[in-house]
Amino acid sequence: MAITYLKQVETRPAVEGKDIRGVVAQMLAKIEEGGEAAVRDYARDLDGWAGDIVVTAAERAAASARVPQELKDDIRFAHANIRRFAEAQKATMGDCEIEIMPGLIAGQKQIPVSSAGCYVPGGRYSHIASALMTITTAKVAGVPHITACSPTRPGIGIPDPIIFAMDLCGADLILNLGGVQGVAAMSMGLFGGVPADILVGPGNSYVAEAKRMLFGAVGIDMFAGPTDSLVVADHSADPETVAWDLVSQAEHGADSPVWLVTTDRRLAETVLQRAPDMIDSLPEPNASAARVAWAERAEVVLCDTREEAAQVADRYAPEHLQVQAKDLDWWLNRLSAYGSLFLGEETTVAFGDKTSGPNHVLPTSGAARYTGGLSVHKFTKTVTWQRCDADASHELALRTARISRMEGMEGHARSAELRLKQPTA
């Protein structure tokens, strides 16, 4: 078995994050002290937004009315798919109850968090799909209060299609806010909101750092880095399709890695030849972002066997893993480290990013080795309970007291032994 890199990038030094951490820490401290006034200052200074922070019901309706009907239909289509998948996920979760020993009954309950803050990125692209993915999933999970925010555009606010999507999905409060100030406002329950129990949604490095710093006081979905994608392909794959699937993901940004792992040299060489021309055909700024990502972050790996290719894919643990190869069931059963898996040339990561249903908020930077993506589970607490009768209580008390004293925990032992005073049946 052999692995040959037909294109390999140099290992990058760890990105220095002290400046980002310092800036974010200072912003959070100022917002903690100054509250809504500090948030308004940051919105004005950083985003050029001096308008109202809360999007009113009338403004929601006006924004929705400006969205073309065809786009509304597309958004509703995606929303329905995402909702159906989230509902199927929820159906796999359930309460349970078991008699562990005679007289001792224990169980678990599924309880949604009380409030969620959903961050919808803006910046270069208007991420309609992120509104659908985060808010819909929280709603299906049964979260009682959902606040959503997104970066504004000067003189405009949040783009109309994003407001329409937020409203369609059931956001209780929409804030004209992006960046650290948006995350902080949701976590603190500013502008009439409810303090968030969990913050979810992708964002830039400042948003990610704000979520990291707030973690503990609130929950978060995951620590997110730049999006990444890997395609596994064999001789049966179409090089044009493989190349476009890689280029489309490089479009996300200059720091977004894309990888090709293949057992076919001809396919690999064709993709290497075609990808630069495809990138050049994109509009700006997409082409510039993809060009840097391809030059500095893309790798092409040639393997002897499919088992070797699977091992390489598991080692990368990509956010998105696409398989264009024969015997898809083998790959489905074999692969074990990915955020979301796309099987066959008939599907593509772009479907998952926008409309097909499974969530697109996924683990990046190899985190798929130990966690999955956003789901109804992230908005739900699995809690346990127990009760017992006097006979079971006596049995537990005797054993608990002995173990506790062996551990040196006399208070635990005495607490257990109090239960011996209860009369048995």
* Cα distance between residue 16 and residue 18, in whole Å: 6
The token pair that represents 57 in the structure block: 């019901």
Q: What is the C-alpha radius of gyration for the chain, rounded to an integer number of angstroms?
A: 25
DSSP state of 377: G
Contact 232, 321 (CB under 8 A): yes
As beta bridge partners, residue 324 has: 233
CA angle 354, 295, 245 (to 5 degrees): 30
If residue 3 lies in a helix (H) or strand (E), which one and from where to where?
Answer: strand 3-7
Question: For the chain, what percentages of helix, strand and coil (3-state, to nearest 5) are there?
Answer: 50, 20, 35
* CA-to-CA dists, residue 257 to 16, 263, 295, 343, angstroms: 19, 20, 10, 20
Those residues whose C-beta lies under 8 Å from the C-beta of residue 288, and which sit 6 or more positions away, are: 254
Helices 205-214 and 179-188: crossing angle in degrees, nearest 10, is 30
**Residues annotated catalytic, as ranges:** 319-320
Q: In sequence order, which ranges of 144-204 are alpha helices (DSSP H)?
A: 160-169, 179-188
Residue 133 sits at φ, ψ, to 5 deg, of: -65, -45
The token pair that represents 9 in the structure block: 């990038």
Name the nearest CA neighbour of 34 among 213, 138, 184.
Answer: 184
Residue 289 in 3-state DSSP? helix
